[in-house]
Amino acid sequence: MTHFDFRNAPYPIREDIGEAYRAYWDKLSAPGTWWTGEERIAIAQECRNALVCEFCAARKQALSPYNFPGEHTHSGALPGRVVDAAHRVVTDQTRITQAYIDDNAANGLGKGAYVELVGIVVAVLSIDEFHRALGMPVETLPQAQPGAPSGYAPPHLSDDIGFVPTVAPAGAVGDEADLWASGWAPNVVRALSLVPDALREWREIAAVQYLALEKMRGYFKDDTRSINRLQMELVAGRVSAVNECFY
């Protein structure tokens, strides 16, 4: 696959950012927990298709997003329900409901598969928006690797937050011991934990675009960053408000 050469970027870019992006593309191309490598690449492509989907743009303006007829702009590689989920996460995420996720789960898009899909969309959109913000083309998606999904489910799950099960606050033990520090499990980190590898992949992107999880409770100047933590939070807060992130 072809990666963008950051040496030709319009602004200086830290080396660890490019390394993290390359590592993510490699993981994206491999079989996941509920999706094959080919399906994971197709979900990533639908993340991009959503931004040029006329149906999504029209539905975004509709009073109700659940009674609006039409068809998505898509690549034809995934079932319609999967395409719709990927597009909603990109274009209309604030109106996703428990009923929508439960209906998907009852009709072939299980909650584990949905969480992995969300993890892919979040990671790909984060990388792509980084490129777009700097006036760079998005990178070519990788070729899929063969193999079957693992089907792994964490043993210590809870339904205490959100619309999907998550690893319980004290459940980061055993194979999940690396997910967060003991005694500290913020909801935004737990959100993808039904699929631990999706959380791990998100953490690696977040660590270079924002901060490593272990540094999030330290409000000091990080020598690897050009702005201090208060400035970072000001930017993050403004972006969250624009994107209607209610967390």
**Percent of the chain, pLDDT > 70?**
98
**Angle, to 10 degrees, between the axis of helix 15-28 and the axis of helix 37-49?**
120
Identity of residue 127: I
Which structural domain, as residue segments, surrounds residue 116?
Answer: 6-150+196-216
Q: What is the pLDDT of residue 245?
A: 80
- For the ranges 19-23, 167-171, 210-214, the one whose mean pLDDT is highest: 19-23
- Asked if residue 236 is part of any domain, the answer here is no
Average pLDDT over residues 144-165: 96
Q: What is the mean pLDDT of the chain?
A: 93
- pLDDT, tens digit, 9 for 90 and up, residues 191-209: 999 999 999 999 999 999 9
Q: How many CB atoms lie under 10 A from the CB of residue 163?
A: 17
Question: With 60 as the cut, is the pLDDT of residue 2 above it?
Answer: no
Is the pLDDT assigned to residue 220 strictly greater than 80? no
Indicate if the pLDDT at residue 157 is higher than 70. Answer: yes
Q: Does residue 218 have a pLDDT over 90?
A: no
Residue 224 pLDDT > 90:
no
Q: What average pLDDT score do residues 59-75 get?
A: 95
Is 222 a domain residue? Answer: no
Query: CB 35: neighbour CB atoms within 10 A?
Result: 21
Q: Is 61 left (phi over 0), alpha (psi -120 to 50) or beta?
A: alpha
Q: What is the pTM of this model?
A: 0.94
Whole-number Å distance between alpha carbons of 24 and 36: 15
1 pLDDT more than 70: no
pLDDT at 52: 98
**Is residue 238 predicted with pLDDT exceeding 60?**
yes
User: Would you say residue 91 lies in a domain?
Assistant: yes
CB < 8 Å & 24+ apart, contacts of 175-181: 180/213, 181/213, 181/214
Region 53-73: what's the mean pLDDT? 96
Asked whether residue 61 is assigned to any structural domain, the reply reads: yes
What are the structure tokens assigned to 170, written together?
């004290």
- So what's the pLDDT on residue 184? 80
Question: For residue 67, is it within any domain?
Answer: yes
Number of domains in the chain: 1
More confident residue, 98 or 220: 98
- Answer whether residue 201 is part of any domain: yes
pLDDT higher than 80, residue 64? yes
The burial of 229, by beta-carbon neighbours within 10 Å (0-12 exposed, 13-18 middle, 19 or more buried), is given as middle
pLDDT at 117 over 60: yes
Q: What is the pLDDT of residues 7-41, one digit of tens each?
A: 778 888 999 999 999 999 999 999 999 999 999 99
- How many angstroms from the chain centroid is the CA of residue 96? 15
Take residue 107 and report the two structure tokens written for it: 């009709």
What is the percent of the chain where pLDDT is above 90? 77
Collapsing DSSP states into helix, strand and coil, what is residue 59?
A: helix
